[in-house]
Amino acid sequence: MPDRPKRLVILHSRGTARGARHHMVMLISEFLDDLGVDVVHLCGTDRFVEADGIFVHVDLSVVPGHIRRFAQRYPKQINANASNIRKRVSVDGLLNRGDSYAGPVIVKSDLNYGGLPELKALTLSGRALRHLRRMLSGQPARPILTKADYRIFPSLGDVPPEYFTPDNVVQKLMLEKDGEKNLLREYMFLGNLHYETIERSTAEIITEDEHISCEPFVPHPRLLRLRRQLNLGYGKIDYVMVDGEPFIFDANKTPGLGAWGGTDYFATDIKQMLLGFAEEICRTLQNGEMQKASTKGPAKGDAATTVKVSLPPLADQTFAIKQNAQPNK
């Protein structure tokens, strides 16, 4: 008698529109369908569906405990323990009012997507209370909800007092130049598969401009340590390289498709990466263990080109790195 198809539950935030294709996980889901995996999408934890594993894709910077407890009911999990990815606990170069720093700075929201998912989850009275709190605390009338709302100032002393609030962070503005343009690196991962995408723009705040590449690579140990700290089995980390070290801007466990998602302009190399993620999930559901990472490192014959990442169950975030492994810069 043939084995039944493996089943994966993808858990979304309550209120997520059915079939919405705003996130990369939806392309992964389509690839999983093609691979014969029975994918069940749940929006919220009201209903339990028996499955071989769960992919927690809740678009909140701080995930409530009841969601984590729900995910633990499944034998295999992705991001079940990724409970807090606020910038205050994940990024580099944060500054406080009164610190001594002369360089340019950028003001961002502490929560991902400007806290917009959290705002959508509030009731009408909750939104009114939030607005009243902002008014009474003297915060800017326009909250930081997207990258378009980020503010750059020449120095820390130029940041208006009203931006120093629990909702915002002030960070050193660090740029990686490629000629006249700026680079943004994104470490994208699932389990022990590691990719680096590179975007390039004349803007200092890069959203979607010129896609350069998406390739397997050996992540810098600091990136792996942050993954372990945040319990991230899937997601992306935005950074630039400064003096040979990553300077981290953001961590995200629900990467979006962007403006080109679902169109012919969506980069082929990114689609190939997402197919690889789907194949890795399929293998894990079948075998119970992750495959060794495909990596790109120093030339053949050079010392240690391999990063070993041990992730037997999807929720386990223990990394074992060879001492002489060199990051790909």
User: Token pair of 278, please?
Assistant: 């789907």
**In a shared domain, residues 156 and 197:** no
Same domain (yes/no): 60, 127 = no
Q: In the chain, how many domains are there? A: 3
Share of the chain above pLDDT 70, in %: 73
The phi, psi pair for 118, rounded to 5°, reads -65, -40
Same domain? 122 vs 37: no
Say how far apart CA 15 and CA 31 lie, in whole Å: 24
Domain span at 202: 176-287
Band (258; pLDDT cuts 50, 70, 90): confident
Residue 112 lies in a domain: yes
Q: What is the DSSP string of 195-261?
A: EEEEEEESSSS-SSSEEEEEEE----HHHHHHHHHHT-SEEEEEEEEETTEEEEEEEESS-B--TTT
pLDDT band at 268 (very low <50, low <70, confident <90, very high): confident
Q: Rounded CA gap, 9 and 308, in Å?
A: 28
CATH number at residue 182: 3.30.470.20
Mean pLDDT of 216-239: 97
Calculate mean pLDDT across residues 158-183: 94
* pLDDT exceeds 80 at position 194: yes
309, part of any domain: no
Report the range of poorest mean pLDDT among 130-134, 171-175, 186-190: 130-134
Tell whether 138 and 52 lie within a shared domain.
Answer: no
Q: Are residues 100 and 24 in the same domain?
A: no
Domain boundary among 172, 207, 225: 172
| Burial class (CB within 10 angstroms; exposed 0-12, middle 13-18, buried 19+) of 300 | exposed
Percentage above 90 pLDDT, the chain: 60
| Last residue of one domain, picked from the residues 133, 154, 172 | 172
Name the more confident of 128 and 276: 276
Residue whose C-alpha is closest to residue 234's, from 289, 192, 201: 192
Residues 181 and 278 occupy one common structural domain: yes
